[in-house]
Structure 1
Amino acid sequence: MSATARIKEAALAAALFTASALPAYAHVEMGATSSFEAGFTHPLLGLDHVTAMIAVGLWAALKGGKAIWVWPATFVGVMLAGGALGMLHVPVPLVEPGILASVVALGILVALAVNLPVPAGVAVIGLFALLHGHAHGSEVPENAAGLEYMAGFALATLLLHGIGIAAGCGVGLKLRNVAQAAGAACAAIGVGLAFGVI
């Protein structure tokens, strides 16, 4: 491997590590769900959300083709539907464990570069998106402020997907192992969150 390739690999690994090393705040405080800005910043401060969203983008980039736009679009769309269910207080079982499982599972899918058909990936991503959306929708008011919050949340989620896609496409096939290493790190973070060591 050339020196330039090693520098690119190290820089990408550092960027992904930095992006995923933000403090985790799984729930927002009362009164903090009343603006677009609050919705936009919240997912950027949650380690579970940051790592899972970047992993969705990485996995889509590794798959390539229409998965690059279908999988992130699916996540955001289903997340908003889950948010609506949460705002309406419609119960969904196992939301919190499911969110932690999503971090681990998405990390493993990236780490192993699992090549599922696009519709199967939609099903996996959709399930996790429903849980992420419900958790946050249950914390927002059923009014315009809540809708503004969810719009901000959706935009931030798309940006995190974009970071994952850009990173995955940026490394290309030559440095595919860097993207897979980032997936392994995501899975490890999920395990750490599940056991309360992170």
Structure 2
Amino acid sequence: MNKRNQLRLLTLGGALAPLSAMAHTGHEVAGFFQGLVHPLSGADHLLVMLAVGLLAVGQTGEKARDMTRRTRIAVPAAFLLAMVAGTLLAIAGLAVPFVEQGIVVSVIAAGGLLALAVRFSLVAGVAVASVFALFHGLAHGAELPLAAQPVAYIAGFLITTSALLVAGTRLGQLADSYSMGLISRLAGVAVAAFGVLAAV
């Protein structure tokens, strides 16, 4: 891997560094701009979305490469759809206990799966991403009563979520192109470690 591509990886990773520990701090929610920056305001959202993007590319071998082309699209898309579903369920008044704990578990699990280089079938990958996203969507929805413009807020966080998922996928593709699976494993260790720290 040449220095230019190493710099790309470091720059992309550094640019997405979390701004605070957790995104759900009870801060005021308003509209589109707040929705746009919300996923960047806490490491829980940011790390899970990047991890899901990395997991979508985390396949090796010829047979797996064919699957990777599908998972690269299907897994992030499933995450987005499940997050919207969770948001709508929360808006509808569904009260699910332990949402914050579920988010922390999703961070630990996503990191663990990356660190262990777990291989998924397409269905399993979609299911795992959907479960992770459901908790994040429920948390988003719980904050929407504070929103002056709920539809604009949802549109904002969907745009940023999509960008983070694409960024994770791109990082995974770069690492895979240069046979640097160790990067994904180390990223997984870091994500899981953050989740454990957040849990204690």
Q: TM-score over 0.5 for the alignment?
A: yes
For 1:117 and 1:176, how far apart are their aligned partners in 2?
19
Q: Which of 128, 131, 137 is matched with 2:135 structurally?
A: 131
Check the 8 A contact 1:112/1:180 in 2, yes or no: yes
Q: Point out where structure 1 has 5 or more consecutive residues left out of the alignment.
A: none
Q: 1:143 to 1:101 in 2, by over 3 A?
A: closer
Task: Give the structure 2 partner of residue 153 of structure 1.
Answer: 157
2:33 aligned to 37, 41, 58, which one? 37
Could you tell me how far 1:47 is from its partner in structure 2?
0.7
Displacement of 1:18 in angstroms is 5.6
Q: Which residue of the partner structure matches residue 44 of structure 2?
A: 48
In 2, the alpha carbon distance for the partners of 1:58 and 1:172 equals 10
* Deviation for aligned residue 1:26: 2.7
Q: Deviations for 1:5-55, whole angstroms, at most 9, x for unmatched residues? A: 6x745763574356344312432546x322111101011111100001000
TM-score for the superposition, normalised by structure 1: 0.87
Q: Does 1:116 find its partner at 2:120? A: yes
Q: Could you say what secondary structure the match of 1:141 adopts?
A: helix
Q: Which amino acid aligns with 2:78?
A: T
> Are residue 22 (structure 1) and residue 26 (structure 2) matched?
no
Number of residues paired by the alignment? Answer: 191
- For the residues of structure 2 that align with 1:40 and 1:147, how far apart are their CA atoms? 12
Counterpart CA distance in 2 for 1:38 and 1:171 is 32
Superposition CA RMSD, Å: 2.2
Matching of residue 190 in structure 1 with residue 195 in structure 2? yes
Query: What residue ranges of structure 2 are gaps of 5+ in the alignment?
Result: 60-67
Structure 2 counterpart of 1:102:
106
Amino acid at match of 1:163: A
Q: CA, structure 1 residues 93+37, in 2 after alignment: closer, same or farther (shift >3 Å)?
A: same
Task: Give the equivalent residue in structure 2 for 1:140.
Answer: 144
TM-score, with normalisation over the residues of structure 2? 0.86
- Amino acid across the alignment from 1:26: A
Q: Which residue of 1 aligns with 2:93?
A: 89
Identity of counterpart residues, as a percentage?
Answer: 38
